[in-house]
Chain A
Amino acid sequence: NAGVTQTPKFQVLKTGQSMTLQCAQDMNHEYMSWYRQDPGMGLRLIHYSVGAGITDQGEVPNGYNVSRSTTEDFPLRLLSAAPSQTSVYFCASIDVGRSDTGELFFGEGSRLTVL
């Protein structure tokens, strides 16, 4: 069972470069989201999607774009990387039919360093 798959697991960027973190899930979950984890802080929501074609901003959306063209994929784009975006990024999806109280299923995380 693949679950939620994130790539790459590690990435080093220079300031100003762009990149896309990929997230795919094979559980037919309608709801997907991106979080970032920084030292001394809880997971913070960047963007989320409640279905294909629908996305919305979370708590810390600046500097990131998302799209949801299919149910399976929810890529996160960094348009012009900044050192403040150095973090560990987690993609998560929520069980279909349990969207309001269903648990999150997390990917393994992507560690990004911006120099």
Chain B
Amino acid sequence: ILNVEQSPQSLHVQEGDSTNFTCSFPSSNFYALHWYRWETAKSPEALFVMTLNGDEKKKGRISATLNTKEGYSYLYIKGSQPEDSATYLCAFSRGSGGGADGLTFGKGTHLIIQP
């Protein structure tokens, strides 16, 4: 069983502040690292899928980095807005199965943006 750890478990941030949180995963047999955003009463939606060590991806005010050698990824949110409030999930896949035979998910970071 793979362990994907996310920290912190929850986070309160003032509107306008920037924030980041961490996903750690096994560094052996790495294939891909996914980030999903999950709003209350909705289904998770993909933010990023990263495969290469050193990858950096950006979507608007949200960006992510990947270090496969040490087994961690950071998600950054710049200038937090109330609509950023959500649970952010990371998920790891190993080997050639990739996402097809399932991802191992962390428990998520629950982000609350306070006006």
Q: Is B11 an interface residue (CB 8 A)?
A: no
Chain A stretch 64-115: residues in CB contact (< 8 A) with chain B? 90, 94, 99-109
- How large, as a class, is the contact surface on chain B? 20 to 34
Q: Of B1, B49, B96, which is in contact with the most chain A CB atoms at under 10 Å from its CB?
A: B49
Say yes or no: A40-B100 contact (C-beta < 8 A), given A101-B31, A103-B34.
no
**Chain A residues whose C-beta falls within 8 Å of the C-beta of B106 in the assembled complex:** 42
Count, chain A residues at interface, CB 8 A: 28
Chain B stretch 73-115: residues in CB contact (< 8 A) with chain A? 89, 91, 93, 96-108
Number of A-B contacts (CB under 8 A): 77
Q: Of A31, A104, A105, A107, which is in contact with the most chain B CB atoms at under 10 Å from its CB?
A: A104
Cβ of A110 to closest chain B Cβ, rounded Å: 11
Interface residues of A (CB under 8 A from B): 4, 31, 33, 35, 40-45, 48, 50, 56, 58-59, 90, 94, 99-109
